[in-house]
Structure 1
């Protein structure tokens, strides 16, 4: 008997209106992801990758189709209920950080815990900053931090509630190569530590190949879905 997937999308379509007529962004996405998986989603610009992530995070409502995350159907949930669900189950890392400029690193990371009414919000936030190597920078504001440091603050904020799912949309897009490698390594380390399901949206196919599964999106559809071959199987084949 297998457990239900932590992410399930069925026949997802998203059509937006424009002056030139309807624009089909997603065209019948069916996707199932198991708990603890690492999934890289790749594809050309405009293929629908980021829109798909927005739907997974409850930030965008599909025109048709069903979304079920952590056994919770999104059907009928209003914005407040979706926000509470995200707070408790989903962490999101954006390419452009989205830190609050008037708050310190510590205050930014503590936001989800404060919204949840946690009395230990700042204590836990301080530990998460330590986890990403920024314990000495917790009193600094975003403008006093480098791009890589800001992204690490954003990562700490995304995982401070220890969510079951971590969504990352081009998390290294605004960073240089070596700094981006640090961020990605920390994401995979956090995944291993907490068995977090990681969905990584990226244009970098080499980065996606670090995941156990790679999905290619083209023209709003899944064009390919490849699972990595376990090391044990590769060893068996070589014998």
Structure 2
């Protein structure tokens, strides 16, 4: 009997292929708000899938719906219709209390205006979401997060005693301290000078990489968007284009 000449399967061929599910799935998302002039269509049929660990830049003109889209992803704004599946949660099916619990454990948000509590120290600002989540080591984790962003010596300072860049570092520490699966940033450098903004972006990308968090950020800066894996262009409440960023394409070519 002739022996088979076929090569045995390699270990990679024998092992099952693990297919990751998107961490963000938006299907035909619409959001319409009432106004004195009549209904205003903010989002008009958004479709978007984001894979775990991706870095996504969202760009578009003012009033295009970028910040509203981010609010939808954070569970801060409810859609009129469409599927919103984010970080393991069907956001349309969650009431306000369950949304708050989901957001506390799954999502970190960095706002342009920092949104720090003025009567709390840097350490207390970072510890608050951890304490609300019931973390017994909230203070230790908050202290570690501040150290990660270079503010170990500023933890007892109040927001008014910190520069704009330092306040944004506190906001970033607060966002990453719970180790979120999804990190959202809305114009995180909008209120900062150029060099300070670059430092914040380096920190944000670095922290997201350490945590293996998916990063979605809104920006008007094309150079900043190009640092992401993909760029989503929004106009008039619709996705006009999704592009692989030039930097990502260069990295892929170098790897090949």
- Whether the TM-score (by the shorter chain) exceeds 0.5 is yes
Q: Secondary structure at the match of 2:92?
A: coil
- Which of 61, 86, 100 is the matching residue for 1:44? 61
Q: Secondary structure at the match of 1:75?
A: helix
CA RMSD, Structure 1 to Structure 2 (Å): 1.1
Q: Provide Cα deviations, 1:116-141, integer angstroms capped at 9, x if missing partner.
A: 11111101100100000000000000
Indicate the structure (1 or 2) with the bigger Cα radius of gyration: 2
Q: Provide Cα deviations, 1:18-53, integer angstroms capped at 9, x if missing partner.
A: 111111100000000000000000000000000000
- Which of 92, 114, 118 is the matching residue for 1:97? 114
Counterpart of 2:195? 178
- 1:120–1:235 CA distance, 2 compared to 1 (3 A): closer
Counterpart of 2:9? none
In the TM superposition, what is the alpha-carbon distance from 1:165 to its structure 2 partner? Answer: 0.4
Counterpart of 1:189? 206
- 1:235–1:74 CA distance, 2 compared to 1 (3 A): closer
- Which of 88, 96, 107 is the matching residue for 1:71? 88
Q: TM-score when scaled to structure 1? A: 0.96
Counterpart of 2:21? 4
Partner Cα separation in structure 1 for residue 179 and residue 241 of structure 2? 30
- Which of 145, 149, 169 is the matching residue for 1:132? 149
Q: Provide Cα deviations, 1:178-230, integer angstroms capped at 9, x if missing partner.
A: 00001000001011111110001011111000001001000000011012325
Task: Please say if residues 46 and 238 of structure 2, whose CA atoms lie closer than 8 Å, have aligned partners that are also in contact.
Answer: yes
Deviating more after overlay: 160-169 vs 221-230: 221-230
Does structure 1 residue 162 correspond to structure 2 residue 182? no
Q: How many residues align?
A: 236
Task: Please say if residues 78 and 92 of structure 2, whose CA atoms lie closer than 8 Å, have aligned partners that are also in contact.
Answer: no
Q: Provide Cα deviations, 1:43-84, integer angstroms capped at 9, x if missing partner.
A: 000000000000000000001111111232112211111111
Task: Please list every run of at least 4 consecutive aligned residues from structure 1 whose deviation after the TM superposition is greater than 3 angstroms.
Answer: none
Unaligned runs of 5+ in 1: none
Task: Please say if residues 232 and 242 of structure 2, whose CA atoms lie closer than 8 Å, have aligned partners that are also in contact.
Answer: yes
Counterpart of 1:123? 140
Unaligned runs of 5+ in 2: 1-16
- 1:234–1:54 CA distance, 2 compared to 1 (3 A): same
Partner Cα separation in structure 1 for residue 148 and residue 254 of structure 2? 33
